[in-house]
Amino acid sequence: MCAGKNRVGELLATRGYIVLDTDPVAHQALHAVKDAVLLAFTGEAVKLGVCLTNNDGSINRRALGALLFSDPQLLSRHEGIIYPKIDELINEFIREQATKDSCPGIVINAPLLHKSAVLSRCQLVIFVHANLFLRIFRSRRRDKLPFIQIFRRFYAQRNLFSQYFSKGVDILKVNNHGSIRALQKKLDRLLSQRGY
């Protein structure tokens, strides 16, 4: 979270790659499995005085996130509901794009790709890293979340690098702690070394 994966996605798009940002995909998947999510978590939400729906009946993602990131078991249960739909949507996107001759490849911009079956289709994982204080600053500026929610999300995403490492995938680690220009140079150099 807030390490710079979206920026890396933008830089890869300038190289001609087709980039899928999975945040909108996750929103689409959440809408598709809305009834199952509400059935699974309304009881816990009521106990905590949290309302999971907006006035229009859609899921209040911020409230759902606060609930899920407060309990690893709830988060795991939610992932079991939503990830099959996310995988289906990503695979559909890959099928559609695979017919295009003009792109050098498809990039999936996903924070938690290691939890997806789609990972097995990837030739390379670019792991974007930034130091904790920089990520906190970026998160506060971008999302305006309370510190406790930021730390809960960071805690839920701890040890991500080792999660990918344990999957045996080819990993390219990119440290993002400087300017955009420095990030682009670093990314270009590292990809060139890998033959991309």
**Contact assessment for residue 149 and residue 66, using Cβ atoms and an 8 Å cutoff:** yes
Query: What is the predicted pLDDT for the residue at 159?
Result: 74
Q: What is the Cα–Cα distance from 72 to 176, expressed in whole angstroms?
A: 28
Query: What is the predicted pLDDT for the residue at 57?
Result: 92
Tokens of 116: 């997806």
Query: What is the predicted pLDDT for the residue at 58?
Result: 94
Query: What is the predicted pLDDT for the residue at 12?
Result: 94
Query: What is the predicted pLDDT for the residue at 8?
Result: 95
Q: What is the Cα–Cα distance from 117 to 61, expressed in whole angstroms?
A: 24
**Contact assessment for residue 113 and residue 160, using Cβ atoms and an 8 Å cutoff:** no
Query: What is the predicted pLDDT for the residue at 31?
Result: 95
Query: Which regions in the chain score pLDDT beneath 70?
Result: 103
Give me the phi and psi of 167, to 5 degrees please: -85, -10
Query: What is the predicted pLDDT for the residue at 104?
Result: 79
**Contact assessment for residue 108 and residue 22, using Cβ atoms and an 8 Å cutoff:** yes
Query: What is the predicted pLDDT for the residue at 67?
Result: 92
The top-level CATH class assigned to 5-193 is alpha beta
**Residue boundaries of the structural domains of the chain:** 5-193
Q: What interhelical angle do 34-47 and 72-97 show, nearest 10? A: 160
Tokens of 85: 């739909």
